[in-house]
Structure formats: structure tokens, C-alpha cells
């Protein structure tokens, strides 16, 4: 017997315990959270499904964008196969069940379920199979209706820049409520509209690749605001249909998943404090203020003038209060400094606020594998308390939270053949990330923030948009060189033990 192995296990357990017990906090377990609190993992159709020409699916804007020379995907890849969840969802369901997860958040591909403005029976059958597989395993499906993959045919007829899109979207949403709502009790109309409005229509980095000077055309100073306006009207139309036709008999809830960093003032100056507030307005309030109050934030109305569309009285009434819960995607935080001289070249510059990852040379938190992601757990608590104080939504679901962990020997968790499988599965820093963010989430909950669910991004490694397969956010490792085999990372084992019912928290490793 190799005596080094038991010793290694003891040392590893000690390291984990010291991490969890930092600042005197008890290790996390399911009993740390209120009864009925939901844990799940998350995904999206284009990033996971693949099968891009199967089952009656038609092209989406991400098919066009990733296949184009203007697509700017870091490794030249696409989502044609992705991680093939289209063919492997039953096996993936078993892996979720093995982690003791309560729920799975995934998106419907509009191009698969409702291409050409009509129901595709093969697409509906596919999603019925996923939902039934999850339900049979005791896992609740949480569905996102739109996660960035607009049908290409709709884009060519104006897409999110055309006000008629709200009628198209409402018809698609109604078809999904009709087909799946007997088993699906939690719906999200959109995922991160901020991201696809700015990255897709201001910077040109995401589909459909529009911006001032971009190959596909565009106007970076006006199009993001037009897109957002039409998205909000589409959201309100879908919610109205759900509430009037389906909610009472199906007994479900409907919301939206919004994303934001926490923005910490760079200094104690009133100018930096105001800049941080503006930055939150332009990233979160842009969407949440109309939904909760029926109007865009005052800072945006004052600064943007005619560039910002105006809601009619009827539209304000329909948008206001149009969520049963707020989904929040949160990963990181930034310092914000007032920057009145900023030249607005795209919508990101409009707040006249400079976002910074460091202050006087000191990082706001350790930098993870992706350059934009700093590990700042305390930002979670501050953001949740801000949302409650400013907007007071009925409930909050953390619909995405996670990290591309960095290895001790490399700054990025890349798809690198020089890293052994054994190394790739040792994602201790990801465990630390989840543990710390959950602790600060719990702190906010103890202070009265009504958080009811938490979804880790992501179930497995996958196609991560403009960076392709070069970064790995998954709890399960996907071997891209060996038939997309799945392997549990240490974080999968951590979740399994943390979420085990009636298990002692000390048994986490």
C-alpha cells in the first residue's frame, strides 16, 4: 500500500477545511440554506446542443456569425456540435442527479422549436424529451426562451431593430407555454439582454456583429437602445400572454435574467459615487427600471435625450410589474471612476464612467482565467442589497454565477493538451469561488434579500461565444479530443457532497 495516498487525502482535507472555515464561518451544506431553496446548473441551446442541421432546426444569427470571417471567434470554432447535448441529454441528466441538483436551467432554440413562424414538431418533441427526462429524475426544468440565438430569417427582416419583432416573439413564447407549461413552472423571457444589445449592436463582438464601421453595418450610438426597447416590449407581450392565458391553470412563474457587475466607487468622492450609480443604471437599471417603475432611469433620460426611445402610456402599464421574479447573472465587480471627458463612441461609454479592475495598482480581486473576471465575493452581497433597496423585486434567482478557474501553473484554464486530465479536474479555485460567493449571498439573505434559487454556470465546459472553447467554466470537464466524454471536476464532487440531504457539512471532501 502506498502510504502517501492517505497522507495526501488528509492534507487535502485540511486545505479545504481551512478555506471553508476562513473568518470563522462554518462549512456550507444544504442545511445552511432555507427549506425549499433551489440549487441547479445552467446552460444555453447554442452553447450546448449542437445538431445544428438536425430535427428541423433552421439557422440562427450565431450560426451565421460564427461561420463568417467577421465572426471573430478566438479559436475559429462554432457551435455546430458544441458539446452535443442534443444527443446526450439523458446521460447529462444522470450527472446532474448524481450532483444532487434540484433544477436545470436551459434555453429553447427559437430556430429549433418555432422556425419560420410556426411550430416544428421535431423541435417540440426534443424539448419534451428533455423536460420529461429531468422530471423523471426529480430535477425541475427552468426555461429561458431567448439566449441570444435569433433565427437568421427574422434578423434579415429587421430582427430586434424592427418593432414588429415583439409580435413574432410573443407567438413563439405562446407556443412554448402551450407545449411545455404543464410541466415547466419557471420561465425566463430573456437572458442578459444587456450583453446581446451592447456586444451585438454596439461593439460587433457578438452576433449579429453590428456596430459603427462593422462589416455588417450598424450604429453603435443608437442601435443598442432600439434593440433594448423592442426586447422590453417583447418581454411585456410574452408576460401578458402567460398571465392571461396560462398562469392560473399551469401554476408557474415568469421573469427575466439580467446581468450586472457590482460597481464600487473608486474613491470617497461624490463624483465617483455618482459615476458608480450611473454605471449601475446603464447596465442593470436600463432594463429593471422599466420593469419595476415603467420608465428608464433618470440618468439615461437626461443624458441620451432623443437617442433613448419613449414608451407610450399603454406600454408603460404593460411593462411595469412584468416579473414574478428577477433572475440575476453575477460574476464579478469593478471600481468605477468618474470620467466626464469620455468620448461616447459606443453605448459602453455613455455613462461617462471608467470601469477599472484595480485601484492604485491593487487588483479588486484575484483575476480568474477570463480577463474580465475578478473574484470579488463581497460584491455579491453589496449588489443584492442594492437591488432590494433600489428595486425590491418580488423574488431573486441567481441564474448564473461561476468562474473559469486558473491552475496553479497557468493563468487560464485553456483547452491545452499539455495539461493532463488529472490536472484539469483539480479545480480547487473554482470550489473556493463558489464557496465564497455563496457565503456572501447568504449574508444578504440574512439581511432580508429574498433569494430563492442559485444556478451555477455552467453544467459542463462548452462553447463560450467569442472565446470559443478556449476557456472552461464547466463543473464537468468535456474532453474535446475524445468523443466529448464528460468527467466530474472536483467542483462536481464538492456540489454533490454539499447538497447531499441529511449529510454533515464536515463530510464535504
Catalytic residue among 140, 152, 381, 400: 400
What does the pLDDT read at residue 342?
83
Higher pLDDT pick, 21 / 27 = 27
DSSP string, 67-103: HSTT---TTS--SSSTT-HHHHHHHHHHHHHHTT--E
User: Given pLDDT bands bounded at 50, 70 and 90, which one contains residue 84?
Assistant: very high
Angle at the Cα of 372 from the Cα atoms of 325 and 439, rounded to 5 degrees? 50
Name the catalytic one among 140, 192, 203, 436.
Answer: 192
Domain ranges of the chain: 32-499
Residues, the chain: 509
Q: What distances in angstroms separate CA 451 from CA 313, 398, 439, 445, one per listed residue?
A: 32, 7, 13, 6
How high is the pLDDT of residue 71?
79
CA distances from 303 to 164, 212, 310, 339, 473 (A): 27, 20, 14, 14, 37
DSSP 334: E
Q: Say yes or no to pLDDT of 4 above 80.
A: no
Give me the CATH topology for the region 32-499. TIM Barrel (3.20.20)
Report the pLDDT value the prediction gives residue 468, as an integer from 0 to 100. Answer: 95
Q: Which residue has the cell 460564427?
A: 66
Whose cell is 433544477? That residue is 103
Q: What is the pLDDT of residue 156?
A: 98
Check pLDDT > 70 for residue 373: yes
List, for residues 377-418, the tens digit of each pLDDT value: 999 999 999 999 999 999 999 999 999 755 433 333 556 667
501 pLDDT above the threshold of 90:
no
3-state secondary structure at position 116: helix
pTM, to two decimals:
0.93
Q: Which residues neighbour 332 within 8 Å (Cβ) at sequence distance 6 or greater? A: 261, 365, 372, 373, 374, 375, 376, 379
Is residue 400 among the annotated active site residues?
A: yes
Here the cell at position 111 is 430556430
Q: What is the mean pLDDT of the chain?
A: 92
For residue range 204-251, list pLDDT tens digits in order.
999 999 999 999 999 999 999 999 999 999 999 999 999 999 999 999
Query: Distance (Å, rounded) from C-alpha 260 to C-alpha 127?
Result: 29
Of all residues in the chain, the percent with pLDDT exceeding 90 is 86
- Per residue in 120-178, pLDDT (tens digit) is 999 999 999 999 999 999 999 999 999 999 999 999 999 999 999 999 999 999 999 99
- Phi, psi values for residue 337, rounded to 5°: -120, 135
Amino acid at each position: 500500500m502506498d502510504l502517501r495516498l492517505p497522507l495526501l487525502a488528509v492534507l487535502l482535507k485540511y486545505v479545504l477545511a481551512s478555506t471553508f472555515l476562513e473568518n470563522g464561518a462554518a462549512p456550507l451544506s444544504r442545511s445552511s440554506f432555507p427549506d425549499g431553496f433551489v440549487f441547479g446548473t445552467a446552460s444555453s441551446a447554442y452553447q450546448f446542443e449542437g445538431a445544428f442541421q438536425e430535427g428541423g432546426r433552421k439557422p440562427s444569427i450565431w450560426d451565421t456569425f460564427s461561420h463568417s470571417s467577421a465572426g471573430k471567434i478566438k479559436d475559429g470554432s462554432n457551435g455546430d456540435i458544441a458539446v452535443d447535448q442534443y444527443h446526450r441529454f439523458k446521460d447529462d441528466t444522470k450527472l446532474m442527479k448524481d450532483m444532487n441538483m434540484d433544477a436545470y436551467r436551459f434555453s429553447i432554440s427559437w430556430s429549433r422549436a418555432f422556425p419560420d413562424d410556426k411550430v416544428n414538431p421535431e423541435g417540440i418533441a426534443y424539448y419534451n424529451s428533455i423536460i420529461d427526462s429531468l422530471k423523471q429524475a426529480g430535477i425541475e426544468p427552468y426555461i429561458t426562451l431567448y439566449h441570444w440565438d435569433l433565427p437568421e430569417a427574422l434578423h434579415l427582416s429587421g430582427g430586434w431593430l424592427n418593432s414588429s419583432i415583439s409580435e413574432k416573439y410573443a407567438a413563439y413564447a405562446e407556443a412554448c407555454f402551450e407545449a411545455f407549461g404543464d410541466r415547466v413552472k419557471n420561465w425566463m423571457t430573456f437572458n442578459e439582454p444587456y450583453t446581446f444589445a451592447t456586444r451585438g449592436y454596439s461593439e460587433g463582438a457578438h452576433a449579429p456583429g453590428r456596430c459603427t464601421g462593422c462589416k455588417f453595418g450598424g450604429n453603435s450610438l443608437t442601435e443598442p437602445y432600439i434593440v433594448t426597447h423592442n426586447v422590453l416590449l417583447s418581454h411585456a407581450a410574452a408576460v401578458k400572454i402567460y398571465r392571461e392565458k396560462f398562469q392560473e391553470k399551469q401554476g408557474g412563474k415568469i421573469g427575466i435574467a439580467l446581468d450586472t457587475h457590482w460597481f464600487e466607487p473608486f474613491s470617497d468622492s461624490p463624483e465617483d459615487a455618482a459615476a458608480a450609480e450611473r454605471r449601475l443604471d446603464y447596465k442593470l437599471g436600463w432594463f429593471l427600471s422599466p420593469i419595476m417603475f415603467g420608465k428608464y432611469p433618470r440618468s439615461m433620460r437626461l443624458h441620451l435625450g432623443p437617442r433613448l426611445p419613449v414608451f407610450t402610456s399603454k406600454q408603460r402599464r404593460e411593462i411595469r410589474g412584468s416579473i414574478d421574479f428577477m433572475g440575476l447573472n453575477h460574476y464579478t465587480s469593478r471600481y468605477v471612476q468618474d470620467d466626464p471627458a469620455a468620448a461616447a463612441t459606443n453605448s459602453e461609454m455613455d455613462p461617462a464612467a471608467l470601469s477599472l479592475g484595480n485601484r492604485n495598482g491593487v487588483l479588486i480581486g484575484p483575476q480568474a482565467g477570463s480577463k474580465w473576471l475578478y473574484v470579488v465575493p463581497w460584491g455579491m452581497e453589496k449588489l443584492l442589497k442594492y437591488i432590494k433597496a433600489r428595486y425590491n423585486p418580488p423574488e431573486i434567482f441567481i441564474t448564473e454565477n461561476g468562474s473559469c478557474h486558473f491552475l496553479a501553473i497557468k493563468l487560464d484554464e485553456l483547452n491545452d493538451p499539455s495539461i493532463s486530465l488529472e490536472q484539469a479536474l483539480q479545480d480547487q479555485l473554482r470550489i473556493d469561488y463558489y464557496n465564497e460567493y455563496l457565503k456572501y449571498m447568504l449574508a444578504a439573505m440574512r439581511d432580508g434579500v429574498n433569494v430563492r434559487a442559485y444556478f451555477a454556470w455552467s453544467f459542463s465546459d462548452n462553447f463560450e461565444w467569442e472565446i470559443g472553447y478556449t476557456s472552461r467554466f464547466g463543473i464537468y470537464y468535456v474532453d474535446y479530443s475524445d468523443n466529448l466524454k464528460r468527467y466530474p471536476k472536483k467542483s462536481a464532487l464538492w456540489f454533490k457532497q454539499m447538497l447531499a440531504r441529511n449529510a454533515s457539512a464536515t463530510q464535504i471532501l
